[in-house]
Structure 1
Amino acid sequence: MGISGWLVTGVLSLGASVLFVPRALWGRWRERLVERLDRGLRRRVSRFGRRYREFVVSGLRFVDLKGLATVGFHTPELDEVFVDVSLGYRAPHQVPDGLLDHLPVDTDGRHSIGDFLDREQPAVLAVIGGPGGGKTTLLRHTARAACRERGNRRRTVPILLYLRDHVEEIVRSPAVDLPTLVRGVLGRYAGDEPPGWFEQRLKSGECVVLLDGLDEVARQEDRRRVADWVERATEQYPANDFVLTSRPQGYRAATVAGASVLQVRSFTDEQVTTFIRGWYRAVAKRTSVPEDAAGDLLRRLDRSPGLSALTVNPLLLTMIANVHHYRGALPGSRADLYGEICQVMLWRRQEAKRLPSELSGDKKELLLRGLAFAMMQRRVRDLARADVLAEFRAVLRRMSTSVDENRFLDEASAYGLVIERESGMYAFAHLTFQESLAAGHIRAKNLVDVLTGAVDDPWWRETTLLYAAQSDADPVVAACLASGTVTALSLATACADLSGDLAPELRARLDDQTGSTADERRAAVAVVGHFGDVIHTADGGRICANPVSSAVYELFRDATGTRPPDGRPAEPVSGVRASDASAFVRWANALPETPGYRLPTEQELADPGVERMLTTVAGVRPWVTRGPAIVLWTPPGSAHPNLIDAETFGGHLDDDLERLTPGLARMLAARLVPAIRDAGKEVNHFALRDVRPVERNERLSAYAALVQELLGADHRAEAPRDEDSAVARDLGLDKILGPEIDDVLPVLSSFATQLSHTARIDRNSTFVNYDPEFWDRGKMREEYAEQESSQSEVMRLIEGLPANLVSGDAPARALSEPLTAAFRSPRPANWHQVFRTEFTRVARVAECGGVVSLDDLADHVRDGGAAVTKATPTPWANAVCRKLADNALPVFERRTRLTPVAATAIRVAALCLAVEADTHCPGPIGDQLRAVATGTTLLERRLSGRAPTTETVVLASMPMTLGP
């Protein structure tokens, strides 16, 4: 209804009141009715709705970076960097509290918050997730979207409240209503609101109410009161959408009746890439940034899985981007980054939000540093609650505070740095935080002797490196040189790389010890150093955080003489066969002073940290153990990288047959010779009155058309190229396509010309049988005389063909049957397609393809050749088996590179021999030879770059002893 209509309705209603209400009563109601009409008119004509939306959009324009230690001079706009974290249904007790917890794979899929809001049925949602998970940012973006997408939405009025700002008012006056709280945050806009504007919008269901931070209500009893207030608001205004956010611990203690619980999901790798590129585009608009700065950060994260694991958390990813841009390149500054993360999560964000706290930030750090150091000394990742409380109690007694250790543990758990991993067992959200805080404790307490005494202990390696990155590394490097062990020297090398200030004499001694050692010790230092950055799996395993590098693999090759990997050089090393992976592990374990290494198990690679490492290192698939077998790891839902499907194989076979076309055409030409002789005999006995002209020449015309197709159209008329002749020799066809065929080709060409002329006369003739009346006509007699003369010329050509020409039969069934089908094809132009179809059938090409095991190909060649030679001791079989071995074994054993011509020869020969094996020696031999053809296809595709080399080596060690 328009404004004018609304006015008319109001006036009519007022008039009706005058007619039916007594005068005395009307006098009392008049002022109320006028006031009500006035309020309604003001709401209708007011532009407050537009101004309110402008207030919301402008107030939420930028990313909230308050509390971060490193920020630039410009804050990116929210729309420039926003990535929807997405949501998944989850029961409250199943949502973990830590910074880096992933949503389990058995939950529902990823959903945008828009999938739940603005439906016909209003929603009440509780969005919960760990600290820094993007909950507040999600609400801010939702509020902006509601303002800007009015035309497509039911609920276009966003109400965003930070509950921490309204705790006192709600607790003091539980009956306070939602509009009152909203007006308290409008500032100068509050006076512009027409009376009852928010009440009317809420009553009519036009609002999406966004309530942030239930967990930030500090006291448990207050949090329950606030949750009760939220419940009453949803009941009072049921036509609106409500979204409440909280950390898991805060919501479990104060749930909201009727709310659907959704967990904030961690960033995927694609979302990490999208955020980083968006963030750098936003920064580049206001300041100069290095070209491809985003790509540089992504590459550095790929090479540092420990840092990459943090990027699943939006807040930590924002901090990483800031530190990378404003503090220098990662991961060299990762010690600074870890320190910032701990500060931000412990106290900086709380201070920025003006949340009350009983302890200052430095005291919180002191408590957690002491706990981390104690856990490092105990060599544990988990500690019982009683032990954690004991560590806190000892430190708290030294402080002038009345804080209870139980209360601080609960507070620390809410920060997300310390989590209850199992019932009563506490751990840091990531071992990196434990090691970083322990390094800070050592630095603050001057306990470097702990590190210098542990240079041979891998448990302390990462803590030592984090210490050296921010402190004087000289004592540690000196202790490493004094020890002289492989473990110590690899640690010294890493410390020297991290520290920008190392005594020159120490650096010289280090270069001397690592550069002049024997080859085995130098290799051992490299391997141990490579294994220094590890991922700890949930079951206590230790997996190297990076696949083996090309440099380390070259040390292995130099020492063992192992052939180079398949495919093109890459970093990390790829194209490593299963046998090579086993040999590498044996070599690494034989090096002096190296701990025991092994290939990881499939279960270990399913660990979230390991799986994330593998997905960030693009295109690699490590070898893993499955019982006694070694298999190539493939992510769930992904195709095996060494899979050749039937369609791909067929495409390569088409190329092979195209390469063989000249030879096949000449074989068909040779086969024409005896056929023409037979047909010529019929022509020689030609009787004019007994045979119909069209019928008698039908066969010779078909032969002529085939000859024209074979010899007259393109390169098929020419002699095969040298490489094609080589393929023909490899298939044992050189005797069939001997020099005699070159003498026949010109004759066949002339023959085709003469027959075409004869066929043309036949097509123009109108008679079928001899007719005396027709014969008496002079013109027809002349035509037939010309035809007879042409036939005589054909006879002379036939008689001139070499009498000793071979028959042209192929010695192998795989070739002879397709050639016969092509020869009998009613459409000569299609002979090549007919040959291909029949060859595919005879050779059972549909059964080719599958996952290739490159280690097995050489044995398949040997076993197949021996079996076929024994079963069919023919010269052809012996020759082709020898040729296959000569061509294939050097390639499969990596003594020579595969060429396209060699690939055709190997593939077609293997298929031909597979047919012989199917016929004469049933069993696995035929399938093994088809596997040779398939494996050749994989190698050829790698050679051309159409198939990547993915097989790599990731080292694992036996679980470290963590107990006392």
Structure 2
Amino acid sequence: MAGLCDYYSVGIDEGDRLNSETTGFGMRSLISKFIQTWLLPLLLILSNGFLGWLINQLPGKQDLKIDDPLILLLTGLCILALFILGAISSQSPPSATPGNQNWLVGFLPLLGGGILFGLLKVNYVGGEFSSAVFYTSLVLFGLGTVLPPVLLLPRRQWQNRLVWFPPGLGLLVMLYFMLRREWTAAFLALFVTVILMLFIHIIKFFIPVTNQLSPKLRAKRQQLADSFADWIWNQIDNWLLDLTSPFQREYYQSLIDICRDYQTQGLDKDCILNLPKVFVPIKIAAKEAANASQTMIQPLKDDGNNSNQTQIWDFLAAIDKYPAFRRMAVLGAPGSGKTTLLRHLTLTYATKQQRKVHPKASKLIPILLYLRDVRQEIVNKKPSLAELITQQVQQQRKIQPLNPPPNWFAEKLRQNQCLVMLDGLDEVADETQRQQVSRWVDEQMQAYPDTAFILTSRPFGYKTARLQQDVTVLEVQPFSLKQMQQFIHNWYLATEVMSRAGQEDLGVREEAKQQADDLIKRIKNSKPLADMAVNPLLLTMIATVHRRGSALPGKRVELYKEICQVLLEKRLRAKNIADALTATQKQSVLQVLAFELMQQKTREFKLSDGIDLIKNKLADVAGSGANPEEFIQQIRDVSGLLVEKEAGVYEFAHLSFQEYLAAVQIKESNQENLLIGNINQSW
């Protein structure tokens, strides 16, 4: 499966690009063929006919005193030039033409000549300038006749030579009048020739400029067109929903009300932030479930061009092409953003913004279920998926409860119109129940094989209750430096706006940017903070403590205290997950463990050694029946403060946590002399 995902992440983009290029080139070839076969000959015939009529308006050769040999010579040269241009342009390969669409510029002189001649005909030009204007319009018409086929020629073969033909002809005309001592006509010919040369140079300058601007303008135009089309379609869709399915619109509004806030469960809420304003797209990568990392804290890395990392939208957009992507298990460490990802997906679909996020995203009805809330219903009654969804939707609102039409969700599931998101398999605390819930999910995936499912879990929870269906396993990647910076800027701006009752002006944005830049600088200069900043939950806590005025990284005590409180108790309580011990009780046991490890000048400990170190303290706070091994595993799997570095070998998630807990233990046990005696020791 990892190989398939790798192939997708690299191959699908390349395939789409080639298909797009092939389609675009085919369309350009058809347009080019139409131009060469029909449009260009028609325009040339019209322009040549009008040019001939203009020439017929010239004074006779007696009035101009032109000899017959010169007339014949000029006529022959014109016929030969037009024959050569026509022959070469007709023999030019079609592949050369699509890249050179600036031939339209060649008709600008034709337009200019027409304007001048029109001004002459309506007597807007004084009599003393009428001859000069007439000759200028004549030359411009000649240039407009010759220039388009020249611009259609292969760029470096004939264009650069033949484009100088009109100025050269103008110089010959000037020389002719000079020999006849007709100085006014010679000066006029020189003036027109200089104008032509300047015009040619201007065209040569603007052609590469337009070549550079055209793709950007086309992209912008396409973007605006897509946005406008989506807006129109959303209006039509809303109108149709009101007529055909008023429940669906009410259901979408209920999802918007539930998912619009940025929730950090367990954190003290200074203010409620808007999820789209704060959310930073997380990266995911194909991973074997056995190799998924449980570690919250990792070294902060700069952005790399890792082709294996992509976004969940890339997989959702490809479910029709790759059926395996219809069933995904997204694994991630505590606080890595799994629940926030599903809430953002739900909000995006409910507001019908999926095409703005990914142009190929399908239209799906979002369904979000928290497995910790429905586990008892699944274990006791084993309902069908449609029955469970209907029941949960009916309980979604206390005021004006939703009432789905009979079999509404069953019909939508049968028609493969839904995206079913099941959050938190690991949060089903009892392992037996977790396995029962996993089997139920397997049955629903089998009952609706073409419906899109996304299951989220921490790695440990999935490993003990793996799905048996063919599932694409994806791992949430830690924040990169760029993602960290974007999140801090988003978070600070949203926080400043909300703290000022929604006011957002230049002063608010400036204050938010100044604070965000200060925090980013502090994180970059502190490795412990940088290592924690890869985790969205820990990064939110860092930002919260920084905004309260704590001078990070100097005063980290408040930060570590908040982290321990959140991970050991507050987060569990916010999710209604029962636990026998409080955060204070758990921390007192971990303090003993951290203190003993510091005395041994080590970070690592074997499970058996850890049990010996904490068993007495655990018995004091939890009673003699408490199991030390289960305590260590619970801190590892649920809180994330301990990690299993290798089989049977543990350590704290970061040395700074071990140092903080040991320092608190020293203070509470009044052993400050121990610190004084070892002040020169790095440990």
Question: Does TM, scored on the shorter chain, surpass 0.5?
Answer: yes
In structure 2, the CA distance between the partners of 1:108 and 1:391, relative to structure 1 (3 Å rule), is farther
Deviation at 1:295, TM superposition (A): 0.9
Deviation at 1:145, TM superposition (A): 1.3
The equivalent residue for 1:285 is 497
Deviation at 1:377, TM superposition (A): 0.9
- What secondary structure, in the 3-state scheme, does the structure 2 residue paired with 1:357 have? coil
The equivalent residue for 1:81 is 278
By relative contact order (CA 8 Å, sep 6+), the higher-ranking structure is: 2
- What secondary structure, in the 3-state scheme, does the structure 2 residue paired with 1:263 have? strand
Equivalent of residue 266 in structure 1, options 478, 483, 507 = 478
1: CA distance between counterparts of 2:246 and 2:264? 32
The equivalent residue for 1:214 is 425
In structure 2, the CA distance between the partners of 1:106 and 1:363, relative to structure 1 (3 Å rule), is farther
TM-score, with normalisation over the residues of structure 2?
A: 0.58
- What secondary structure, in the 3-state scheme, does the structure 1 residue paired with 2:282 have? coil
Deviation at 1:394, TM superposition (A): 1.6
- What secondary structure, in the 3-state scheme, does the structure 2 residue paired with 1:187 have? coil
- What secondary structure, in the 3-state scheme, does the structure 2 residue paired with 1:433 have? helix
The equivalent residue for 1:141 is 344
* Residues 488-530 of structure 1, C-alpha deviations (whole Å, 9 max, x = no match): xxxxxxxxxxxxxxxxxxxxxxxxxxxxxxxxxxxxxxxxxxx
Equivalent of residue 317 in structure 1, options 519, 529, 539 = 539
Kept in 2, the 8 Å contact 1:87–1:111? The answer is yes
2: CA distance between counterparts of 1:204 and 1:280? 43
Which residues in structure 2 correspond to 1:498-897 (within 5 Å)? none
In structure 2, the CA distance between the partners of 1:127 and 1:195, relative to structure 1 (3 Å rule), is same
Kept in 2, the 8 Å contact 1:85–1:264? The answer is yes
Q: Does 1:356 align with 2:563?
A: no
Equivalent of residue 93 in structure 1, options 285, 290, 305 = 290
The equivalent residue for 2:632 is 409
1: CA distance between counterparts of 2:241 and 2:518? 57
Q: Which amino acid in the other structure matches residue 448 of structure 1?
A: E
Q: Does 1:71 align with 2:269?
A: yes
Deviation at 1:154, TM superposition (A): 3.0
1: CA distance between counterparts of 2:612 and 2:492? 46
In structure 2, the CA distance between the partners of 1:338 and 1:394, relative to structure 1 (3 Å rule), is same
Q: Which amino acid in the other structure matches residue 222 of structure 1?
A: Q
Structure with higher Rg: it is 1
Q: Does 1:376 align with 2:598?
A: yes
In structure 2, the CA distance between the partners of 1:102 and 1:202, relative to structure 1 (3 Å rule), is farther
Deviation at 1:400, TM superposition (A): 4.4
Q: Does 1:123 align with 2:326?
A: yes
The equivalent residue for 2:251 is 52
Q: Does 1:223 align with 2:421?
A: no
The equivalent residue for 1:676 is none
Kept in 2, the 8 Å contact 1:370–1:441? The answer is yes
TM-score, with normalisation over the residues of structure 1?
A: 0.42
Q: Does 1:330 align with 2:540?
A: no
Q: Which protein is richer in helix relative to its size?
A: 2
Q: Which amino acid in the other structure matches residue 491 of structure 2?
A: W
The equivalent residue for 2:373 is 165
* Residues 169-191 of structure 1, C-alpha deviations (whole Å, 9 max, x = no match): 11112244344244324234654
2: CA distance between counterparts of 1:431 and 1:454? 18
Which residues in structure 2 correspond to 1:334-483 (within 5 Å)? 334-401=556-623, 402-414=625-637, 415-459=639-683
Deviation at 1:66, TM superposition (A): 2.8
* Residues 787-846 of structure 1, C-alpha deviations (whole Å, 9 max, x = no match): xxxxxxxxxxxxxxxxxxxxxxxxxxxxxxxxxxxxxxxxxxxxxxxxxxxxxxxxxxxx
Equivalent of residue 467 in structure 2, options 237, 248, 256 = 256
Q: What's the RMSD between the two structures over aligned residues?
A: 2.4
Deviation at 1:129, TM superposition (A): 1.0
1: CA distance between counterparts of 2:242 and 2:407? 8
1: CA distance between counterparts of 2:572 and 2:480? 27
2: CA distance between counterparts of 1:218 and 1:349? 14
Kept in 1, the 8 Å contact 2:273–2:498? The answer is no
In structure 2, the CA distance between the partners of 1:133 and 1:312, relative to structure 1 (3 Å rule), is same
2: CA distance between counterparts of 1:409 and 1:340? 21
Kept in 2, the 8 Å contact 1:88–1:107? The answer is no
* Residues 542-572 of structure 1, C-alpha deviations (whole Å, 9 max, x = no match): xxxxxxxxxxxxxxxxxxxxxxxxxxxxxxx
Q: Which amino acid in the other structure matches residue 378 of structure 2?
A: I
- What secondary structure, in the 3-state scheme, does the structure 1 residue paired with 2:263 have? coil
Deviation at 1:207, TM superposition (A): 0.8
2: CA distance between counterparts of 1:42 and 1:301? 48
Deviation at 1:392, TM superposition (A): 2.3
- What secondary structure, in the 3-state scheme, does the structure 1 residue paired with 2:563 have? helix
Identity, % of aligned pairs?
36
1: CA distance between counterparts of 2:461 and 2:341? 18
The equivalent residue for 2:526 is 304
* Residues 712-764 of structure 1, C-alpha deviations (whole Å, 9 max, x = no match): xxxxxxxxxxxxxxxxxxxxxxxxxxxxxxxxxxxxxxxxxxxxxxxxxxxxx
2: CA distance between counterparts of 1:42 and 1:264? 35
Q: Which amino acid in the other structure matches residue 439 of structure 2?
A: D
| Count of equivalent residues | 417
Deviation at 1:381, TM superposition (A): 0.8
Kept in 1, the 8 Å contact 2:423–2:455? The answer is yes
Q: Which amino acid in the other structure matches residue 436 of structure 2?
A: R
Deviation at 1:107, TM superposition (A): 8.0
Equivalent of residue 260 in structure 2, options 61, 67, 74 = 61
The equivalent residue for 2:45 is none
Q: Which amino acid in the other structure matches residue 244 of structure 2?
A: V
The equivalent residue for 1:109 is 308
2: CA distance between counterparts of 1:349 and 1:222? 21
* Residues 659-679 of structure 1, C-alpha deviations (whole Å, 9 max, x = no match): xxxxxxxxxxxxxxxxxxxxx
2: CA distance between counterparts of 1:419 and 1:107? 26
Kept in 1, the 8 Å contact 2:264–2:537? The answer is no
Q: Does 1:236 align with 2:437?
A: no
The equivalent residue for 1:183 is 391
1: CA distance between counterparts of 2:329 and 2:629? 27
Kept in 1, the 8 Å contact 2:300–2:530? The answer is no
- What secondary structure, in the 3-state scheme, does the structure 2 residue paired with 1:211 have? strand
Q: Which amino acid in the other structure matches residue 76 of structure 1?
A: L
In structure 2, the CA distance between the partners of 1:431 and 1:206, relative to structure 1 (3 Å rule), is same
Deviation at 1:151, TM superposition (A): 7.7
1: CA distance between counterparts of 2:283 and 2:299? 12
Deviation at 1:65, TM superposition (A): 2.4
The equivalent residue for 1:835 is none
